[in-house]
């Protein structure tokens, strides 16, 4: 069926700013955020497809499971085509280009001050032009195998994935994004094409453009010129049922480090695919109140010399999973975890105080507003919003409208010490 391009202007009274959401006739959703006075422009072209999408139903109804790490492998291979490497082409335009694969998305990007349209042409064309052969696929196995071994030797990477491994029974978020040397050996051109044809459909993708050259009329003209109309496909990922419990509550590994590392995770019982803007805002305020540098928990850990300036926290969230992590370097990880768990248990009784809530809310609101000064930040958040069903300008409104009752309700949803686990990296005996 013939489609037309529809442009919607989305405004924010809080920011006194706007961006454009374009439903392009090809099937692609495009977000254009003009930044007057900015010399550089940042573009991000992404597919709603990441490392967790290993089991899915094809259009014909056949359910298949592909090797772990194939989304990341596909990202690497897509830069190669019959007429050359995309990075070589970018070198001629002067653009800085890259790509990344996460648990739930794969994105290709560039940033430039000049030659914007040529760089955009390269981006749109190579992502739409897969080229996989037995020879090229096998050649990449050695390169990605080295990358996997590099991550296996990274204690900060291992402390996180060791934690995921004991927190999640079945959800593929527990699997390393790059897979294993053994799993990538199973990748073939046909399996790459199965994944590409399923998920790299323009209806399952988005393009975000932010900066000085981000104007809706010119971006639509480029999309008209370089995008191939795509039939809408229904390729569905399936995830196994996940118990609310953790697999076990402790794991450790030894590495050549001088100071132990720890990650303490609290697993949320998620009954839907994604959290809402409102829930995300509540979580961000809650975690700042609980564990920022001005919090009682931070002061307690610091006074007992159990943490240093590497201590941090994170709300780890995606399709059908949500957890909170606390971690960093610690001379006594088990004691640090004990204090954090006790703090959480006490907070579940007393609730977050009005004072801590107000400080956290102001800080989170200010940080969110400040993030609109960076092209990369805006482009990335727009992509996340599209794939999670959220909206960019709605988030600061959610922060502004969050109440103390909201935060304390969220506290009880996210935290249960019985559903927590600790991952520790210890120094080798001879270090």
Known catalytic residues are 75
26 and 202 Cβ atoms separated by less than 8 Å = yes
291 and 341 Cβ atoms separated by less than 8 Å = no
- Residue 216 to residues 27, 33, 257, Cα–Cα distance (Å): 16, 8, 51
Q: Is the dihedral of CA 368, 161, 273, 227 positive or negative?
A: positive
Distance CA 116, CA 128 (A): 19
Across 199-320, the runs of DSSP E, i.e. the strands, are 205-211, 236-237, 250-255, 261-267, 312-318
Contacts of 173 (CB under 8 A, 6+ apart): 52, 103, 164, 318, 321
SS3 at position 117: helix
What would the two tokens of residue 199 be? 């998920």
DSSP 267-293: E----SSS--HHHHHHHHHHHHHHHST
């Amino acid at each position: 069926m013939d489609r037309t391009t529809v442009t919607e202007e989305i405004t924010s009274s809080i920011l006194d700013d706007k961006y454009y959401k374009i439903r392009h006739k090809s099937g692609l959703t495009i977000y254009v955020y003009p930044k007057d006075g900015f010399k550089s422009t940042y573009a991000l072209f992404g597919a709603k497809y990441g490392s967790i999408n290993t089991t899915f139903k094809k259009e014909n109804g056949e359910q298949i499971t592909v090797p772990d790490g194939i989304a990341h492998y596909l990202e690497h291979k897509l830069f190669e085509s019959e007429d050359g490497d995309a990075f070589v082409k970018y070198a001629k335009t002067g653009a800085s280009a890259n790509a990344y694969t996460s648990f739930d998305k794969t994105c290709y990007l560039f940033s430039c001050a000049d030659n914007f349209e040529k760089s955009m042409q390269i981006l749109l064309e190579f992502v739409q032009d897969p080229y996989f052969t037995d020879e090229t696929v096998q050649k990449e196995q050695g390169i990605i195998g080295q990358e996997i071994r590099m991550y296996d030797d990274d204690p900060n990477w291992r402390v996180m994935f060791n934690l995921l491994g004991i927190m999640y029974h079945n959800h593929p978020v527990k699997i390393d994004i790059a897979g294993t040397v053994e799993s990538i050996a199973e990748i073939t051109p046909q399996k790459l094409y199965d994944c590409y044809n399923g998920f790299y459909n323009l209806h399952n993708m988005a393009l975000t453009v932010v900066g000085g050259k981000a104007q809706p009329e010119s971006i639509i003209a480029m999309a008209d010129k370089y995008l191939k109309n795509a039939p809408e496909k229904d390729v569905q990922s399936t995830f196994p049922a996940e118990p609310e419990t953790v697999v076990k509550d402790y794991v450790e590994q030894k590495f050549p480090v001088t100071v132990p590392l720890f990650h303490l995770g609290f697993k949320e019982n998620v009954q839907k695919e994604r959290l809402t803007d409102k829930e995300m805002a509540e979580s961000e305020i809650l975690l700042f109140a609980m564990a920022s540098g001005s919090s009682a928990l931070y002061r307690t850990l610091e006074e007992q010399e159990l943490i240093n300036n590497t201590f941090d926290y994170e709300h780890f969230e995606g399709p059908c999973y949500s957890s909170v992590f606390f971690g960093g370097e610690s001379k006594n990880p088990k004691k640090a975890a004990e204090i954090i768990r006790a703090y959480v248990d006490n907070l579940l009784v007393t609730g977050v105080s009005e004072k801590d809530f107000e400080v956290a809310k102001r800080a989170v609101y200010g940080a969110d507003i400040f993030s609109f000064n960076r092209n990369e930040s805006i482009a990335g958040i727009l992509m996340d919003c599209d794939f999670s069903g959220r909206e960019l300008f709605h988030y600061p409104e959610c922060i502004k409208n969050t109440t103390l009752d909201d935060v304390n309700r969220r506290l009880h949803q996210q935290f249960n010490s019985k559903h927590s686990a600790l991952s520790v990296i210890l120094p080798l005996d001879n270090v």
